[in-house]
A and B are shown apart, each in its own frame.
Chain A
């Protein structure tokens, strides 16, 4: 209790102690809306310079957690610090040093690119907002579009502008809420290259996403479903911790596997069946039970069974299924 008190009054001194590299440090965060817990007992630590992926299905509480971190929502329970500042009492300080990119485009649609950036520059108290905006436009590759209204930009450019807007005041932490939703693959790749470049410079990035390929680009990930943080760690750690055994089945004669899939789904020992292109992923938590379940099918000569590493997607779909079972 005294340690918490100290960190609130003298955050710099407290941080200088054991873990000065922890940018986000929250414990047991809970948030309810109308009595319904949207986030339950979430604890997480994020180290400086990390790209931290925040994964989970729609409505799992990702946005709510991010909003609690940057002071837009007050947690009902739990404590924590963001950049060393208390997330309950020092939100004004947090806001000055955090760049938050909202899920929905939230810059002014009826202002031009340049006017939006100058507005942000002024609010964050940059000495020369015009110059800062001009520099940001060049950095973002938006030259030639600076006088275009933000609302008229295409999805990819809007996202670039939004990222530029939240990095312009040089924050120490970026909170990106599904930044690549609705953005084409090329723009997504460029976006991630940029995130890695920013992290290499020491910026910490917390990014929420649905995309598995994006999760694999993160240094660390956390998976949240139904408001609860189910697993966290590096991608390899998360896969290893799942103890999932997976087989890839494909048809030798090119027949459809949909009837097989429906058959396998309800067998004991098989926890998940998911179609991937022309093949099926069949997974189970108990390797022995899985082997027993598929043994009769392995004998069929029209099917090709390959044991494989569980993919991140397999792990997440399995986690989600399990969380749902607990939840109901």
Chain B
């Protein structure tokens, strides 16, 4: 028979062994960390990926801001201004509307951030020295993006004209830029930030509610019982998501009410539309969180995944930095994040009074993200313990 107790008394070190015991715990922690492969990989990849991603993507001097130019006259000066705008990196002329109404619609829908109108007889008045007015409408819902571009505009046009038509630059400018900051004329940042916070706060809370829901059942051992019962993965998923839609809705209502009554954010659009699209946004985030919980092996991994997802939501969605200022690839990443679409929705509805027809693209994107997440979750959900 084997001896359970050693025949020789083992030799022990003297003293209380504070550092020895600390060392014992330290060694154990390192072994456990090494065993948890995913966490181990994340230690390296999280800082690396995030630094490279955000370092290259974030730019506070926005480039290529989408601009619409309305030429009310067909003149050389007009064409020259258009060409100058093309040549700068600040503006990117994406639309050439024919009427003012069309220009307004483009601004309201958020397709362009600037509308530049060169009125009729601009060239003639310019040559006569009448100082004609060039009208610039800027979407000031994001004041940061608008201001730096606007300050560059005057100099840009003047240089172009001097170069092409020898219109003297001496003294004051030969024309005037009449700027109209739409939607947020006082350029109050809180009007931009508070609606954005609705989305950011909801993203954070919703993700974490569901990210732990499946891993928690696995860690507590209740999953085995649940799997042995006649219930399908879709039923489990919907049952776990729906209660939090309600929770999210209450949170959204609270933040929006505070925004309106405390911060004086206007509510120009339809509250019902905002409520409906907010619900969609909440459900999309809950589905993504739930997907994490079906992929993660434990609660720690699920939390790490949520944070990995939350950071780009803040930095690449247009919440902190102008969306239009990011390089194309970063904007593509942004398009895959629910917060990007919700920010457009909530800012457009509250500040611009946008209607459903202005927002159908973003609403469809949210619905698509939600469905993709749900599909992954249901297929990833392990129905057996294999």
A interface residues (Cβ-Cβ under 8 A, vs B): 67, 70-74, 92, 95-96, 98, 100, 102, 104-109, 120, 123-125, 262, 265
Contact = CB atoms under 8 A, between A and B. Distances in A.
A57 to B, nearest CB: 16
Interface of chain B: mostly helix, strand, loop or mixed: loop
B230 A123 contact: yes
A92 B225 contact: no
8 contacts: A71-B228, A73-B385, A98-B228, A102-B221, A102-B225, A106-B221, A106-B224, A265-B1
Given A102-B224, A105-B221, A106-B225, A95 B384 contact: no
Nearest to B232: A92
A292 B261 CA distance: 100
Contacts of B224: 72, 102, 104, 106
B385 A72 contact: yes
Given A72-B384, A74-B386, A262-B1, A106 B230 contact: no
Contacts of A102: 221, 224-225, 228
B221 A120 contact: no
Place the interface of chain B in its size category: 10 to 19
A175 to B, nearest CB: 9
Interface string B1-12: 100000000000
B128 interface: no
Q: Among the interface residues B222, B225, B386, which one has the most CB atoms of the partner chain A within 10 A?
A: B225
B227 A96 contact: no
Contact of B228 (A72, A104, A262): A72
A123 B231 contact: yes
Contacts of B220: 109
A105 to B, nearest CB: 7
Nearest to B222: A106
A114 to B, nearest CB: 17
Contacts of A262: 1
Contacts of A73: 384-386
B262 interface: no
B229 interface: yes
Interface in B222-253: 222-225, 227-231
Interface string B371-386: 0000000000000111
Interface string B50-88: 000000000000000000000000000000000000000
A104 B217 CA distance: 13
A276 to B, nearest CB: 15
A74 B384 CA distance: 8
A65 to B, nearest CB: 13
Given A73-B386, A262-B1, A123 B222 contact: no
Contacts of A74: 384, 386
A108 B217 CA distance: 9
A100 B228 contact: yes
Contacts of B227: 72
